């Protein structure tokens, strides 16, 4: 099946290359205010934003109840985060089921709670409701809402907990009751929920001469540090940005290692993590940034040994940045802020994504033969936006791939 998928992909891609010219369309993202130094607790019965929950400015309209037998049940994903306590009074696991966006925000909030109150965990009292315990058109029926407390059930913390939920990126937070806080998110197909796969423009790559360069300043032909198929450091050509946005504020995951390196990237971007094998070597695989867990190992470039070393993830948190850039290299990998990452996002299979970008690499190779660059060239023809080729791949992926292979917070696709 994968072989036929690839054959169909390359056929349609080649047709697109023949009939289309290089161009860009507007890209979009979604973010929240940066976590303030001093938190202002919400007042009892206050909600943020100050509009009704099911309006466009908050979590959006109700889209229908999800049951275990409905087609949309596959939209729900279980949350087994050990840093969160699930009440699960029905003993069915229903409270653990939620949309991917709700899961990402809840996991982010769990980190904030532990940072705010050491020894205290986030507690979920209500998640997806399959028993009709809530009012009509409740977002609990879609797995888009959770009711939360702290593990110690200290009501004096709930105002601050509400604020932490806002900062974690929930689309609507309501200090609803003295017993809990209500939080909800936009639907997965909401344009505003999409975050794509990018790095902040201030993230740095290493050039072949050993100097650092901001991702936003990359030019076609720059030779940047990456990794080959065997995980060995290699310098490779930067080709282009498949997504470039200089102004939109987005929410990023910051993954920090115990040796101090930090890589900042969006939830749907792929990052290489290590898996132990029977040998002493560490096998690497690419996972979504939102799926990386503390204690896992990422690959960090050791300049002294000139090799990539597995280093343990110590902390994960979220941060907002203005501007986001998705660089593509010939190798399909890139070392950003000393940490190895994939150039790809949204699709969980790095190898498939790299294979699908073969026509782009071919075009770059032909261009380099026809036009010899004496120095890196400015990408003057590429304006802000999602590249047309990336849009085509995304649309093909939604048609040909299983829904679980595509990150629900993938890119927003707009007509050109």
134: DSSP letter: S
Count Cβ atoms below 10 Å from residue 213 Cβ, excluding itself.
16
pLDDT (average), residues 306-334: 91
**Is-contact 99 144, C-beta < 8 A?**
yes
Separation of alpha carbons 143 and 184, rounded Å: 9
Count Cβ atoms below 10 Å from residue 280 Cβ, excluding itself.
6
**348 or 1: which carries more pLDDT confidence?**
348
pLDDT (average), residues 192-209: 82
Computed over every residue of the chain, the mean pLDDT equals 82
Residue 105 has pLDDT above 90, yes or no: yes
Separation of alpha carbons 166 and 100, rounded Å: 17
Write the CA distances from 149 to 127, 141, 183, 186, 255, integer angstroms. 12, 20, 11, 21, 26
Which pLDDT value is given to residue 209? 93
Q: Which two tokens stand for residue 11?
A: 């056929």
Q: How confident is residue 174, by pLDDT bands cut at 50, 70 and 90?
A: very high
Long-range CB contacts (within 8 A, 24+) of 64-67: 64/141, 64/142, 65/141, 65/142, 66/128, 66/141, 66/142, 66/143, 67/130
Q: How confident is residue 12, by pLDDT bands cut at 50, 70 and 90?
A: very low
Q: How confident is residue 89, by pLDDT bands cut at 50, 70 and 90?
A: confident
Separation of alpha carbons 227 and 218, rounded Å: 18
Break the chain down into helix, strand, coil percent, rounded to 5.
25, 35, 40
* Cis bond upstream, residue 121 (ω within 30): no
How many residues appear in the chain?
416
**Is-contact 257 300, C-beta < 8 A?**
yes
216: DSSP letter: G
Tens of pLDDT, residue by residue over 184-197, are 999 876 544 455 66
Cα 135–137–141 angle (5° rounding)?
Answer: 90
Q: How confident is residue 30, by pLDDT bands cut at 50, 70 and 90?
A: very low
Which pLDDT value is given to residue 386? 73
Tens of pLDDT, residue by residue over 354-387, are 888 888 888 888 877 776 554 555 444 456 777 7
**Is-contact 322 281, C-beta < 8 A?**
no
Which pLDDT value is given to residue 147? 97
Q: How confident is residue 1, by pLDDT bands cut at 50, 70 and 90?
A: very low
3-state secondary structure of 99: coil
């Amino acid at each position: 099946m994968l072989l036929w998928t690839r054959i169909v992909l390359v056929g349609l891609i080649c047709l697109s290359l023949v009939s289309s010219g290089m161009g860009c369309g507007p890209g979009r993202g979604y973010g929240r205010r940066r976590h303030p130094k001093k938190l202002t607790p919400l007042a009892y019965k206050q909600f943020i934003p100050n509009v009704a929950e099911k309006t466009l400015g908050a979590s959006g309209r109700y889209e229908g109840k999800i049951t275990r037998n409905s087609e949309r049940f596959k939209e729900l994903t279980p949350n087994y985060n050990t840093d969160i306590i699930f009440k699960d009074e029905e003993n069915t696991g229903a409270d653990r089921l939620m949309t991917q966006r709700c899961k990402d925000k809840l996991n982010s909030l769990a980190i904030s709670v532990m940072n705010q109150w050491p020894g205290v965990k986030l507690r979920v009292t209500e998640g997806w409701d399959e028993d009709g315990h809530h009012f009509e058109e409740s977002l609990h029926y879609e797995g888009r809402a959770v009711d939360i407390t702290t593990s110690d059930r200290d009501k004096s913390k709930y105002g601050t907990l509400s604020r932490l939920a806002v900062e974690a990126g929930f689309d609507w937070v309501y200090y609803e009751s003295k017993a809990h806080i209500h939080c909800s998110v936009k639907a997965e197909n909401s344009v505003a929920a999409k975050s794509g796969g990018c790095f902040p423009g201030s993230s740095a790559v290493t050039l072949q001469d050993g100097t650092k360069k901001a991702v936003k300043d990359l030019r076609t032909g720059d030779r940047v540090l990456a990794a080959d198929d065997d995980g060995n450091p290699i310098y490779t050509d930067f080709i282009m940005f498949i997504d470039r946005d200089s102004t939109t504020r987005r929410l990023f995951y910051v993954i920090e290692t115990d040796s101090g390196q930090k890589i900042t990237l969006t939830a749907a971007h792929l990052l290489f993590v290590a898996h132990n094998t029977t040998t002493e070597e560490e096998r690497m695989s690419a996972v979504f940034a939102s799926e990386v867990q503390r204690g896992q190992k990422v690959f960090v470039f050791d300049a002294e040994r000139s090799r990539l070393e597995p280093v343990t993830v110590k902390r994960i948190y979220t941060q907002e940045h203005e501007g986001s850039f998705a660089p593509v290299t010939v190798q399909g990998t890139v070392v950003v802020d000393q940490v190895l990452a994939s150039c790809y996002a949204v699709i969980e299979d790095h190898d498939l994504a790299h294979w699908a970008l073969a026509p782009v690499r071919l075009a770059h190779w032909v261009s380099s033969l026809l036009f010899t660059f004496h120095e890196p060239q400015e990408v003057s023809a590429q304006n802000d936006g999602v590249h047309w080729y990336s849009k085509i791949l995304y649309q093909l992926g939604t048609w040909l791939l299983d829904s679980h292979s595509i990150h629900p917070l993938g890119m927003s696709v707009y007509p050109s």
